[in-house]
Amino acid sequence: MSATQILLLYLVLFAIEYAWETLLELLNIKNVRKNQHEIPKPFRATTDDKTYKKSIDYTITHTKFGLLSSAFSSLFLLIIILSGALGAIDQYIASWRFGTYTHGVIYIYSLSLIFSLSSLPFSIYSTFVIEERFGFNKMTWKLYLIDMIKGVLLSALLLTPLLYALFWFMDTSGSLWWIYAFALFAAFQLLMVLIYPTFIAPLFNKFSPMEDGDLKEKIISLADKIGFRTNGIFVMDGSKRSRHSNAYFTGLGKSKRIVLFDTLVDSMDERELLGVLAHEIGHEKKNHIKKGMLLSMVSMALGFWVLSLLLPFTPFYQAFGFESNSYHAAIILFSFCSGPFTFFLSPLRSKLSRRYEYEADRFAVTATGGAEGLKSALLQLSKDNLSNLTPHPWYSAYHYSHPTLAERIAAMDNFAKSN
């Protein structure tokens, strides 16, 4: 293929992806508005009219803002590509006469900075205007800036040696460089899973072991009953940033732990919290974390292999304004192309994730002796987070990593009745 044909193919796929995702957002808004006059039957006992209308307003507001943000970011990317800015920035950095590896690191960080700054106003508006309007935001400007600085410094600390190592493999290891690069990044991913709960996450939040009491005793009893061993159950101070609530399982081996947002603990009773905990334990007992990591590594290996095929292909670089092949250009262009060339796989990833959620729900129903605790918890979570109760089926199939709330409730009821 010629450089012109490659660029044309990219632009066509980019337009298709943008049009498809925009269509899904519009269909979702239409479906929400179609159901705005009556609370869906599964939620009438737990959701009042005021909360339902507020959730609709929240969904529509976020969706419209997302459409604006997406339009801007897409247009900005096209301008960068079609204006020749990618090659021009590369040539400017080359004039500084750094070594090849340092040139590549500076180039990647420069583009990251440009795109981060372009999206910064949207992040600020979402946090301090939209989230504030709906009563969720508790972030201060000081905390926002501190988080940003910590994130930048942490990324630089972790990624810089990785990039130098990657460039070294690409430069010295011949056609099999991608295998060594994959092994390095797979090891790094495993390391991050191990150290994230104890070293990285505490840089941003405070994690306190759950206090002794009746609830903790019941949790320990539940864990013993289902044969679950963990490094602890921790409460995270999520409320210092947002009123949104959540729970998650993280870590491997001795570092594995269950984390509950303090907003979740404050808003739920013991039965509901036990249901949530049983669901999170279900993910671990069903090996969902390990399966997800395995799938991630397979995808990573395929990605490095494809990158190795593109690395010597000069028209690929010329299509996007580069004068010649380079390691850093290959990485940047691969990141630009991965979305338009693979977006059609998103429903498959989402479907697999939803299957895992159903499995964890069934595990929780069995472990707690019924569906009522987890059902009540999910209804409370939905209410507290102003979740969309009536997403369009196409939208949820494409985007949702979890089944819709109505689907989860129906599935749990059916499972409970059959067991």
pTM exceeds 0.85, yes or no: yes
Which residue in 17, 131, 272, 361 is the catalytic one?
A: 361
Q: How far apart are CA 166 and CA 184, in angstroms?
A: 8
pLDDT for residue 215: 83
Q: What's the pLDDT score for residue 221?
A: 87
Q: Which of 17, 21, 131, 280 is catalytic?
A: 280
280 is catalytic: yes
* Boundaries of every domain in the chain: 1-175+261-419
Q: Which candidate, 324, 296, 302, 298, places its Cα nearest to that of 311?
A: 324
Tokens read off for 146: 């501190």
Owner of token pair 């104890």: 198
Give residue 254's pLDDT: 73
Helix, strand, coil percent content, the chain, rounded in steps of 5 = 75, 5, 20
Please list the rounded mean pLDDT of every run of 10 residues in the chain (419 residues): 94 97 98 94 90 96 98 97 95 93 97 96 96 94 95 95 97 95 95 89 91 84 84 87 85 79 88 92 90 94 96 94 93 94 93 97 94 93 93 96 95 89
Measured in whole angstroms, how far is the alpha carbon of residue 179 from the centre of its chain? 26
Contacts of 64 (CB under 8 A, 6+ apart): 29
Residues 6+ apart with CB under 8 A from 213: none
Judge contact between 330 and 379, C-beta under 8 A.
Answer: no
Question: What's at 207, amino acid-wise?
Answer: F
